[in-house]
Every structure is written in structure tokens, then in C-alpha cells.
Amino acid sequence: MAGQAEVRGMAEGVVGRTPVQAMTGGERLLTREILTLAAVVVLGSIMTILDATIVNVALPTLGRDFHASVATIQWVPTIYLLAFASVIPASGWAAERFGARRVWIVSLAVFLAGSLACGLAGSIGELIGFRVLQGLGGGMILPVGQAVLAQAAGPQRMGRVMSIVGVPLLLGPVVGPVIGGAIVGAASWRWIFYVNVPVGAAALALAVWLFPRTRARRESCSW
């Protein structure tokens, strides 16, 4: 009788657990597909983080080339951060309305277009304007990418995925001035922006290929 009661208690304990609690340790591990998605999100997002600080070391050079005052040159990093932050609150609505995959791809394309335009800028006014475009595109990349990962990984693996994404993105602002100084010392300041193009193009191609297709809230099409 005691043995039957013990077996019954064990069975009830298994049945009473939630699916997440009943999962084995192997099921909680991150799969290759999730790790690949995380790598694509990091590849696309880290450029937007780097661009917040990578340009700082080039400000004296920009002032000399464009014959601009310090007050005017300071708008180059500031306007990017303002544009970047302004679109973050709308990222959740946009991902739901148009689909996270579509929003991420379009945002990255806008960021790349802004980066290329910044490198080609012929005046300080053009550079500041193109930095607005760059920031508007870059602001949604990280939050929407995290939403894609959260949906793919599920709640039981959320912490693992976000830790993988978070570490390199936290290092971005630290290494940005170092990379910017190396680029300015070895080449033109324009390469601070041009370097985003090949990296972003690779992330864009991988996202088109690997990101799961999502259905928009009011549209049946997805791409």
C-alpha cells in the first residue's frame, strides 16, 4: 500500500506540472536555429549601437573638413541618438501591424541607406540630415530583433537568448571609439559610415533567408 501511494504521488506530481516544468534539460537548450537567428540579430543590431559612439573620435576631423563650429559638429552624434530613441516606442506597434520580419528588414535597409548617404555627404547640413535617416532606421532594429528571438525561443529560453544578444551589444559603445579611431587614423572619416554597408548587407541577406515569416495584424501577406 505504501508503495502504491508513493507511485500515485509521483504520477500526480508529473501530471500537475506545467509543460515548461516537465521539460527535460535537453529541451531547454538553445537550438542551432535559435543561435543562428541570434547571430543575425546581433550582426544587424551591433552596427546601430556602434554608430552612437564610433563617430565621436572623428568630430575634430569633421569640423576641419566642413569648416564647422564645435556647436554644429556636436549635432552629428546628438541628432542620431534623438532619432534613434524617437522610434523605439513605436517598434512594438509596427511589428504587430506589419510583421516583425518585415519591419526588421525595412529598418535595416533604411539604416544602410542612411549610412551610405552619410559617407557621401558633402556638407555638414547633409551629414546631420542623413544621420536622422540613419537613426530612424536603426532605432527599431534591436527591439524588433529581440521580439523575433523571443517568439522563436519561447518563454522557457528567453533568458538564455537575451544574455547571448546582450553581451556583444553592451560592448558596442565601449569598442566604438576604438574602432572609430583606427578607421580615422588609417583612412577617411567616411569609412566610419561605409563600413556599415557590407556588414549590414550580410545581415540583410541572412534575415531574408532565415527570419521566420510572420503574419501582419491586418494583412494576410508576408515577405
Residue 25 belongs to a domain: no
The parent domain of residue 112 ranges over 38-210
Instruction: For residue 125, give the DSSP letter.
Output: H
pLDDT at 53: 85
Residue 33 identity: E
pLDDT tens for 91-123 read 989 988 998 889 999 999 999 999 999 999 999
Inside any domain, residue 144:
yes
Q: How many Å apart are CA 53 and CA 206, to the nearest integer?
A: 26
User: At which residue does the C-alpha cell 527535460 appear?
Assistant: 24
pLDDT confidence of residue 31: 80
Residue 63 lies in a domain: yes
Is there a domain that residue 12 lies in?
Answer: no
pLDDT at 112: 95
Q: Which residues of the chain have pLDDT under 70?
A: 1-28, 214-223
Q: Which residues of 37-49 are buried (b: 16+ CB within 10 A; e: fewer)?
A: bbbbbbbbbbbbb
Query: Quick check: is 96 in a domain?
Result: yes
Any domain includes 193: yes
Element housing 19 (H / E)? helix 19-22
pLDDT at 218: 54
**Measuring CA to CA, which residue among 141, 79, 69, 81 is closest to residue 110?**
141
CA angle 78, 174, 164 (to 5 degrees): 110
pLDDT value for 165 = 75
* Residue 200 within any structural domain of the chain: yes
* All cell numbers assigned to 42: 546581433
pLDDT of residue 146: 85
The confidence score (pLDDT) of residue 162 equals 77
Are the beta carbons of 46 and 169 closer than 8 angstroms? yes
Count of domains forming the chain: 1
What is the DSSP annotation of 76-99?
A: HHHHHHHHHHHHGGGHHHHHHHH-
Count of alpha carbons within 13 angstroms of residue 41, beta-carbon side: 32
Q: What is the CATH number of the domain that holds 63?
A: 1.20.1250.20
The pLDDT of residue 160:
76
27 lies in a domain?
Answer: no
